[in-house]
Chain A
């Protein structure tokens, strides 16, 4: 079922690269229509625990996890924030799914349950074990790719009722990625903030 597919994905897909679009929809409030924002870019990961999001639209933002530190570079604000990866992993579910070394690591942070197939994908529901976290529910969508299960979608609901849906396309399975692709050097002149 979907859990087997997720286990196969985590075991066999050691690295990946894909384009993504992210649609964030905040719940309608007192008479105002629900509002959604879409962004897009590229996503890459290398197990264990390295990944990067390169947002290109509507603004440039780079998020790189090099295994220890999560770097975030906001180009417009010319600011880099660096956080210990372990401290923020709970709030980056896409990373958890992609960069988790194995299913047991995922089970440490989430209760995993197979959910019914939908939109041609197999779905796993991941309920965060940390109760006070920002996340309330995560759903992982897997597609049967020609080389086995592929990460196709991620739906993330936060505790404020906001829904973020990530769709992955042009997925490359197990590409050889140079280790430099998960290293980040703050550009000269940017202010670097360690938190």
Chain B
């Protein structure tokens, strides 16, 4: 199948740019939507989140033994990538699997089900059935 749009970073590392929408169900439904840039790799990388008008909302950085959130003028450390992504978006995101999904490759994550059928035109959706509350992540990638 056609390769999904992925402009390799100048340092040859994966880099994706697009918009994400996160819907968290449950009795108090929550939602999060932002523009994003994802670079690096599951072991070490960076996720930047942007408001619709282009202002940077937050930057998440992770590396072995480090999970840092820069937002509201502060840098805070977190014990894990799950805790880091939960703080920034409202729920723990399966970042390692996301790198694979965005590359069009299936990756198993307990509780998550990804639909890669339209990844070639930059569309990804993934649903979490557990742990509760259920959640849905939708991504539209910017064609490079």
Contact = CB atoms under 8 A, between A and B. Distances in A.
Given A26-B48, A162-B56, A77 B73 contact: no
B54 interface: yes
Contacts, number: 79
B33 A193 contact: yes
B126 to A, nearest CB: 14
A185 interface: no
Contact of A134 (B19, B23, B56): B56
Contact of B59 (A37, A61, A92, A160): A160
Given A32-B11, A59-B140, A76-B19, A156 B72 contact: no
Interface in B9-55: 9-11, 17, 19, 21, 23, 31, 33, 37, 48, 50-55
B80 interface: no
Nearest to A134: B55
Interface in A33-51: 33, 35, 37
Contact of B53 (A33, A35, A94, A132): A94
A153 B55 CA distance: 17
B53 A164 contact: yes
Nearest to A157: B55
Given A32-B11, A37-B17, A74-B21, A79 B33 contact: yes
Nearest to A194: B31
Given A59-B140, A59-B142, A74-B19, A132 B73 contact: yes
Contact of A160 (B33, B53, B56): B56
Interface of B: 9-11, 17, 19, 21, 23, 31, 33, 37, 48, 50-57, 59, 70, 72-73, 138, 140, 142-143
Interface of A: 22, 24, 26, 30-33, 35, 37, 53, 58-59, 61, 63, 72, 74, 76-77, 79, 81, 91-92, 94, 131-132, 134-135, 156, 158-160, 162, 164, 191, 193, 195
Given A81-B33, A134-B55, 14 more contacts: A32-B10, A32-B11, A37-B17, A58-B143, A74-B19, A74-B140, A76-B140, A77-B140, A81-B31, A134-B56, A156-B54, A158-B55, A164-B53, A191-B23
14 contacts: A32-B10, A32-B11, A59-B140, A63-B52, A76-B19, A77-B19, A77-B138, A77-B140, A91-B51, A156-B55, A158-B55, A158-B56, A164-B54, A195-B31
